[in-house]
Amino acid sequence: MDNIIVVKDLVKKFKEVTAVNGISFEVPRGEVFAFLGPNGAGKSTTIKMLTTILDKTSGHITLNGFDPEKNREDVRKSFGIVFQDHSLDDDLTAYENMEFHAALYNVTTANNVRQHRIEEMMKFVELWDRKDSMVKTFSGGMKRRLEIARGLLHHPKILFLDEPTLGLDPQTRNHVWEYLKEINKNENMTIFFTTHYMEEAEKIADKISVIDHGDIIATGTAEDLKKQTSTETLEDAFLALTGKNIRENEATGLDGLRSDSKMWRRH
Amino acid sequence: MQAAYILWLRQVKKYYRSKSRVIGSLGQPLLFLLAFGFGFGSIYQKAENGNYLEFLAPGIILMSVLFTALFSGIEIIWDKQFGFLKETLVAPVPRINIMLGRTLGGATVATIQGAIVFLLAMLFGFRPQNISMVFIAFVFVFLAALLFTSVGTIIASKMDDMQGFQLIMNFLVMPTFFLSGALFPLSGLPPIMKTFIQFNPLTYAVDGVRGTLTNVFAFSPLTDFAVLAVVTCILLLLGSYFFEKIQA
């Protein structure tokens, strides 16, 4: 079995702070991989380095056989991503958001392939009947589903999901995972996700890695982790591994403004 | 190139959909045309300088272009805040195409805005000397639009939030507008002011448009064009350099 993601001794430093401290892991092709950790543990920083948004300080990354810093475009074609925070254009319709993505990823327009693919994915997440609505009229769950449809549009080999179900009701969460499992099975697409909902990781992931203070402290199936910590649930195993202290993480300027960004929103 | 096109299309679509933005941004040029055009008109005429509206209109067209273009560039900050920027940053497209598409979109929108103000000025009695020169005038307008959208892009690439917004408004936009010859002739100014004005690219845009529309040049059409073209190229290069460096 080949590994679609190989990470070796990966380090990321922001000035004095070490966000990721020499981690190594592999994700086999077709696997559903959960990356767990408390706030500020280094999850998002790792995803950013894997997805070419952030350059690493040192170490090696191979994604679908490519290096994110040397072969940016090959890497970018290989994955789809659903970001932690909202990333749709609210002032465009759902269909236009999809079209925008298709154009960026150069999904062919010959024989209406592009239109059919957009229709297929929007039907898949049950948003086809709302295709001409402005995204700003959508609920949080609908936006998430659209982001997932968008992330899948260009047939990625890996889908990254950074807390994809944050703030969604149990019905929508359940729904979202059903779509994702289906694609994972049918297209052998690798899924790499982070979440704070332990029962989600337990139910869905083939393998789990726990990261804390920039180090990977445990890897295995949910069963392995429970056995290792002699606990009953993954949540308890997680707490046993990472401690019970609440993490204080400092907000960046961007986070600070995002919180009152609604004030600035213009229509 | 498809990526650049879709980014251009997005800017233009968002512009014509936001009716309030179009109307809102016409308020200021309208006020300037009325208050200055008619308010100072008689004094200007008494000083035997001719029709002030004719002198002022090109300056107001470019004021509108300056504001719209700069803010189109700065819109990148909004995309940073609302997360949409990341969608374009992870796309398998060279960043330069993304930056070019956005900048051309912003410049197109600013040029349309300039055209609306031009029609508004016509409504108040502004008449170009030679109607066939209007096209040439809009070459200058478009160059200015491109130039200031790039300035906006550079600022937005370096800024993470809108905290510095007032700073930009007071120390960049307003001086650029007031010290450009948009409102008053360059002759008879104190030398220090003149120096400032000569280093301001907007001065050459104002002169180019005013010259082509009313036949009165402070410099020459070639000088205006050359200065604008060179500065625009430099700023486009700088803009794409800084845009390339954005890490989310």
pLDDT digits (tens, 9 = 90+) for B155-179: 988 887 777 777 887 888 999 999 9
Instruction: Write the Ramachandran bin of A8: left for phi over 0, alpha for psi from -120 to 50, otherwise beta.
Output: beta
Helix-then-strand count for chain A, H and E: 11, 9
According to the model, what pLDDT value does residue A98 have?
96
Comparing alpha-carbon positions, the chain A residue that sits nearest to B246 is A53
Percent of chain B whose pLDDT exceeds 70: 100
Comparing alpha-carbon positions, the chain B residue that sits nearest to A48 is B248
Residue A179 contacts B where some CB pair is shorter than 8 Å: no
Q: Which residues of B touch A255 (CB under 8 A)?
A: none
Give me the mean pLDDT over the B69-83 stretch: 86
Closest CA to A8 of A54, A47, A58: A58
Block residue for tokens 């045309």: B33
Closest CA to A207 of A30, A44, A78, A8: A30
According to the model, what pLDDT value does residue A260 have?
46
pLDDT level of residue A169 (50, 70, 90 thresholds): confident
Q: B-contacting residues of A 62-101, CB under 8 Å?
A: 72-74, 76-77, 79, 81, 83, 85-92, 96, 99-101
Q: Which residues of A touch B83 (CB under 8 A)?
A: 83, 85-87
* Contact state of B87 with A53 under an 8 Å Cβ cutoff: no
pLDDT level of residue A86 (50, 70, 90 thresholds): confident
* Contact state of A77 with B89 under an 8 Å Cβ cutoff: no
Comparing alpha-carbon positions, the chain B residue that sits nearest to A107 is B2
Instruction: Dump pLDDT digits (tens) for B105-154.
Output: 999 999 999 999 999 999 988 888 888 899 999 999 999 999 999 999 99
**Domain-wise residue ranges, chain B:** 2-244
Lowest mean pLDDT among A200-204, A239-243, B103-107: A239-243
Minimum distance, in Å, between the CA of residue B47 and any CA atom of chain A: 45
Q: For residue B5, what are the contacts with CB-CB under 8 A and spacing of at least 6? A: A103, B101
Pick the CATH number of A3-81+139-264 from 3.20.20.70, 3.20.20.80, 3.40.1280.10, 3.40.50.300: 3.40.50.300
CB A4 within 8 A of CB A33: no
pLDDT level of residue A265 (50, 70, 90 thresholds): very low
According to the model, what pLDDT value does residue A3 have?
93
Closest CA to B208 of B186, B235, B226: B226
According to the model, what pLDDT value does residue A249 have?
59
Instruction: Name the burial class of residue B48, with classes exposed (0-12), middle (13-18) and buried (19+) by CB atoms within 10 angstroms of its CB.
Output: exposed
**Domain-wise residue ranges, chain A:** 3-81+139-264
Which of A52, A103, A256 is facing B6, going by the closest CB pair?
A103
Distance CA A222, CA A227 (A): 9
Q: Chain-wide mean pLDDT for chain B?
A: 90
pLDDT tops 80 at residue A264:
no
Sign of CA dihedral A80, A86, A89, A94: positive
Percent of chain A whose pLDDT exceeds 70: 92
Give me the mean pLDDT over the A84-111 stretch: 92
pLDDT level of residue A47 (50, 70, 90 thresholds): very high
* Contact state of B89 with A53 under an 8 Å Cβ cutoff: yes
Q: Which residues of B touch A261 (CB under 8 A)?
A: 81-82
* Contact state of A261 with B80 under an 8 Å Cβ cutoff: no
pLDDT level of residue A15 (50, 70, 90 thresholds): confident
pLDDT tops 90 at residue A166:
no
More confident residue, A185 or A243: A185
- How much is the pTM? 0.86
Instruction: Dump pLDDT digits (tens) for B11-59.
Output: 999 998 888 888 888 898 999 998 888 888 888 888 777 888 889 999 9
Please give the C-alpha separations between residue A170 and each of A111, A166, B7, in angstroms, as whole numbers. 39, 10, 36
Distance CA A11, CA A23 (A): 7
* Contact state of A264 with B87 under an 8 Å Cβ cutoff: no
Minimum distance, in Å, between the CA of residue A102 and any CA atom of chain B: 9
Give me the mean pLDDT over the A175-195 stretch: 91
* Contact state of B87 with A87 under an 8 Å Cβ cutoff: yes
Distance CA B60, CA B39 (A): 15
Block residue for tokens 């398998």: B92
pLDDT level of residue A130 (50, 70, 90 thresholds): very high
Q: Chain-wide mean pLDDT for chain A?
A: 88
* Contact state of B89 with A81 under an 8 Å Cβ cutoff: no
Q: Which residues of B touch A266 (CB under 8 A)?
A: 18, 21
